[in-house]
Structure formats: C-alpha cells, structure tokens
A and B are shown apart, each in its own frame.
Chain A
Amino acid sequence: METLLDVRKLTKRFGGLTAVNDLSFSLRQGEVAALLGPNGSGKTTALNMISGFQPVSGGTVLLDGKRLTGRPAHWISHAGVARTFQLVRVLPSLNVEDNILAAVMFRKKPPAKETAKEEVQRLLEEVGLAGRSNENAASLTYIDQKRMELARALASQPKLLLLDEWLAGLNPSELSIGIGLISNLNEKGITILLVEHVMDAIRALCPRAVVMNAGRKIADGATAEVLRDPEVVRAYLGGAHAVA
C-alpha cells in the first residue's frame, strides 16, 4: 500500500532541551498506528509539528509526498491532517453546533450552509452528541468536549487523524464505545495515529506501534512484539507508566 505520512528526521528543540530528536517513521494509507512512550518523551510535540501547531527545528513531514513542514496550520488542515488536543480545546463562546460548523465551513471545499448543518447533525450523532447542538461548548463535561473535538476533527474530512490521548479519562463502557468509534473511522479509510497510554485500546486498535523515549524512536513494529522489547520495557519502567 501507498505511504500517506512520511516523517523524516523530525527534531524539536526548546532551548537546551531536545523534545523530539531525529524522529523518522511513516504510515501507510489506511493504517492505524500507536505512538507510545513515557511521559515527556515527545509524543505531543511530534503531533504538534505534524499538524503545524509548532514549527520544527529540523526535519521534514510529507503527506502524500507533499511537504507540510513550514506551512501554516490551516494549510496543513486543508492538505488533510486533523487532530484533537491532549488538553481539550473548544471554542468556548460558541455552541456545540457552531463548534463543528466552524470546521465544516472552513475546510478545503466547504458546502452550502444548509448542507453543512445537516452534516454537523450527522457528525454529532456519530460521536454520541445527538440533540446537543444548542448547548454551550464551555459548559459540556470534559468527556463531551472530547467528543465534540473529535467531531470537529472529522468535520474537516481528514486523510490523517492525530488523536492525542483521546481515550484518557473514559470509564470502561465509554472506552469500548470510543474504541468502536475509532475503528469505524478507520474502516471508512481514515489513517490514524494514536497517542495513548490505555494499553487495552492500543492492543485492540493498533496492529503497529512506534515507541519514543526522551525524544528518540526506540522501537517500531508489530504492537505485541514492540511491547515485549526489553528497551521499551525499560523505558516504561523508568517512567511513570508501567505497561500493564
């Protein structure tokens, strides 16, 4: 299958700290992969550079062979990359419907307003927020805000979806719904890169995992094997998270 995302020697320095160091990996079209690593290993920073939220210190990111690095975030969004944020970001003064409408109306090919509103309703249904259009985004619970953020990401019709600990904080029944949702999205053809600490979800969703430690890639391969890799185990035991 074809390569969708190609990350080459990606590097990010914050003053003296190298948060992401020479990171290279690629994703095939239609793949779901996990990006793992202990706290502070640079996962979020890597997503930030791919989505254009933060400029890179070095390296390149290609999507479908097109160079994303150096482009502003809206351009990258139009190229087909959408994301959710580890700490949820909503448009607090807008209601739920307008939060999603925002992404529909400013994606690469926006539809007419009426069609857009119907589409928003479908998206809200998909993430479990049907009938909540008029609620204020800021007053939603944290979990509902996360759902809304996912709907917003989907509204831009991405080829590649970056999820930063989107499943964190869900209770067991919400978790299985969330896992089902993500695997549905993948079946529709969206390529997904999942930053996650919830091991059950990783095992259920991701045949492949890339593992980072202190900014560097330390493993890349089939999830089950990667999780047995002694270096990965050591990195996790050294960090705050134990591999269950």
Chain B
Amino acid sequence: MITAFSFAALAAVFAALAAAPFFLGTYGIGFLLGLVGYVTLASAWALFSGPTRYVSLATVAFFGIGAYTVAVLYETLPSWLVLVVAALIGLFVALLVGLSTLRLAGVYFVIFTFGLAELIRQLVTWYEVNVTGTLGRYLFVDYGPEVVYWKLLALCAVTLAIGYFIKRSRWGLALKMIGDDEVVAEHCGLPTARVKLALFAASSVIITLVGAIQAPRWTYIEPTIVFNPTISFLTLIMALLGGAGRLWGPVVGAVPLFLLFEWLSANFPDHYSIILGLLFIAIVFVLPNGVLGFFEEHWNRLRARGSAGRTELSQDREAG
C-alpha cells in the first residue's frame, strides 16, 4: 500500500514538473532546468561514489565531453543521434579511465579524477586554438528551453529508476558489500572490479548526457564554461549533503543547495566561491553521512535506547 502510494505521489510530482513549462516564463523554465540538471548530476554521481566511497571529481570531465560533442556535431546529425554519440564517447572514456584508475585508492583517485578533468579541458582548448582556430563555438538549435528541460527531466527519472532497481535487486546488496569490505565481497564470489567499472560507466554516461542535453542552453560554448570545476564540486557537496548512500539522498541535498547557490550567485557574486568552500567544510564535518544518514542514525539511536531499556528490565526480573 505504502509503495503504491509513494509511486502515485512520485508520478504526480513528475507530471507536475513536466507540465510546469506551460505555466512558467523563460526565467522559471531556466531555473527548473538548472535544478533538474543538478538533481540528475548528484544522483548519477552517487550511483557510483555512494556505495564505493570513491570520491570522483571527474564529473565535469564527462559533462564537458557531452556538451562539446553536441557543439561539434549538432549541425551534421539529428539531435537524438548526437546524444547517442555523446553517450558512446562518455562510455569509452569512462571505461578507459575506470580500467586504469579503479585500483587507485582514496586520495589518489580524487586527485586523478580532478587531474583528468583539467587534462581534458586543456586538450580541448589546445585543439580548438591550434586546429580549429577558435576558442568558442556558437550553438543555435531550433527548439526552445522547454524541450531541453523535458529531455533532462526524462533523464532524471531514468537515473532515479536505475538507482531504485539496483537497490531492489541483489546488486543493491553487492554495492553495500563493496562499500563495507571489498576483500570479503570478493571472497563471497562478487567480481568487485567489474561491478565498480559498470557503475562508474553508468554514472559517467548519465553525466555525459546531462552535459549533452544542457549544451544548447548556453548558445556559446567554450572550455572554461563547460569544464568549470565548480560543477564537480557542487555535484559532490549536493550528494554528500543529502547522503550519497541513499536513493533520495542526492535529491534531498541538491534542491536546497541549488536554491542557495542561485541566491548567493545573484546577491554575492564576489564571495560566492568562499561561501561554497565554507559550506563544503561544514557539511563534511557536521553531516558526514548526509542529512538522511543523520536522521536515520538518530532514529536508530532512539530505538536502540528504547530496546536497551527493555532488556535491562528483563534482566532485573531474572535477577529478582
């Protein structure tokens, strides 16, 4: 009953979001588009980094790859085919990166992924300046922002559905095993390297598609815009705030932070990155398991206190 009800509620929310462009102006659509974009990015990021606890800063590498693929190909191929090509390029890079780095642990992985994003940005810049002879590209599509928004909303729904089905299947257990102890997981018969690679690839392809779908929004694209490391950091702290290990965690984190960032960048454009940094530190220190983890912990502690009280009572009775 409860699940049927939550499904209905969820369907209603998505239907309302899908209908929103008919009632909103350009600003409203742009706002929702950004919001859904970050919800999708954070959820896709958490798909891999939540269970494995590998902190990836490669988000913007894939995002930028998606955006650039569209900028280069949008005049020559139909738009659906451009998305397919972008996804394939994202997949190829993800497999390449995954195979060479998923053996790196902890901080090495963080640094590598950050370096990767910078490297790809430099490569694209070099290519554009030396081979194409331009730095930026113009991107004029024949559809409006509401179409971009609907595509993104669909991708968001698919991302959450993937997360949901993984959680429900035995692969949900597999992810918890990997997060807990990879050695034990391997000895239980789980091919951990393959599972991690598959997750990283899925997550990266979704992120690539977010970049590809959102690209037309800028009309002018250059490396500093679509490979801006702030995108990686925002995605990361949104997922961490909500709780990267939970299906709804990234959504819970992305919505309030997106609102906050919109407000900050409008009102304090000069101090924006300082506030971002402080917030980042605060989240890591105060809510290491995210908001959802925080509530779950407190709820468990309350319940544990209740049941501990009961066992004490029964022991008293036995003693007496």
Q: Which residues of A contact B (CB under 8 A)?
A: 51-53, 72-75, 77-78, 82-83, 89-94, 98, 101-103, 105-108, 110, 113, 152, 155-156
Contacts and interface: CB of A to CB of B under 8 A. Distances in A.
A98 B175 CA distance: 12
Nearest to B186: A73
B173 interface: yes
Contacts of B189: 74, 77-78, 103, 106-108, 156
21 contacts: A51-B187, A53-B183, A72-B193, A73-B183, A73-B187, A74-B186, A77-B187, A82-B187, A83-B187, A91-B177, A91-B184, A94-B177, A102-B185, A102-B190, A103-B188, A105-B170, A105-B173, A106-B170, A107-B188, A110-B170, A152-B184
A74 B170 contact: no
- Most chain B CB neighbours (cut-off 10 Å) among A75, A82, A105: A105
B180 interface: yes
A35 to B, nearest CB: 18
A117 to B, nearest CB: 12
B170 A77 contact: no
B176 A93 contact: yes
B90 to A, nearest CB: 27
A113 B190 CA distance: 16
B81 to A, nearest CB: 38
Contacts of B180: 91-94
B221 to A, nearest CB: 43
Interface string B121-163: 0000000000000000000000000000000000000000000
Contacts of B28: none
Contact of B188 (A52, A75, A93, A156): A156
A158 B205 CA distance: 38
Q: Is the interface of B mostly helix, strand, loop or mixed?
A: helix
B170 A113 contact: yes
B188 A72 contact: no
A104 to B, nearest CB: 9
A48 B233 CA distance: 40
B318 interface: no
B176 A98 contact: yes
A93 to B, nearest CB: 5
Contact of B176 (A94, A152, A156): A94
Contacts of A105: 170, 173
B228 interface: no
B2 to A, nearest CB: 20
Given A91-B185, A105-B170, 8 more contacts: A72-B193, A74-B189, A78-B189, A90-B184, A91-B177, A102-B177, A106-B177, A110-B170
A39 B179 CA distance: 32
B316 interface: no
A107 B187 CA distance: 9
A82 B170 CA distance: 21
A27 B80 CA distance: 60
Nearest to A152: B188
A131 to B, nearest CB: 15
Nearest to B179: A93
Closest 9 CB pairs of A and B: A73-B186, A91-B180, A103-B188, A106-B189, A77-B189, A106-B190, A105-B170, A74-B191, A102-B188
Contacts of A82: 187
Contacts of A102: 173, 177, 184-185, 188, 190
Question: Which of A53, A78, A94 has the most C-beta atoms of chain B within 10 angstroms of its own C-beta?
Answer: A94
A74 B188 CA distance: 7
B298 to A, nearest CB: 16
B287 to A, nearest CB: 17
A52 B183 CA distance: 10
Contacts of B181: 89-92
B293 to A, nearest CB: 11
B173 A101 contact: yes
B36 interface: no
A72 B191 contact: yes
Contacts of A107: 188-189
B226 interface: no
B174 interface: yes
Nearest to B182: A73
A30 to B, nearest CB: 23
Nearest to A104: B188
Nearest to B193: A72
A91 B187 contact: no
B79 interface: no
Contacts of A92: 180-181
Contacts of B176: 91, 93-94, 98
A51 B180 CA distance: 20
B19 to A, nearest CB: 38
A74 B192 contact: yes
Nearest to A137: B180
B179 A106 contact: no
Contacts of A53: 183, 186-187
Interface in B178-227: 179-181, 183-193
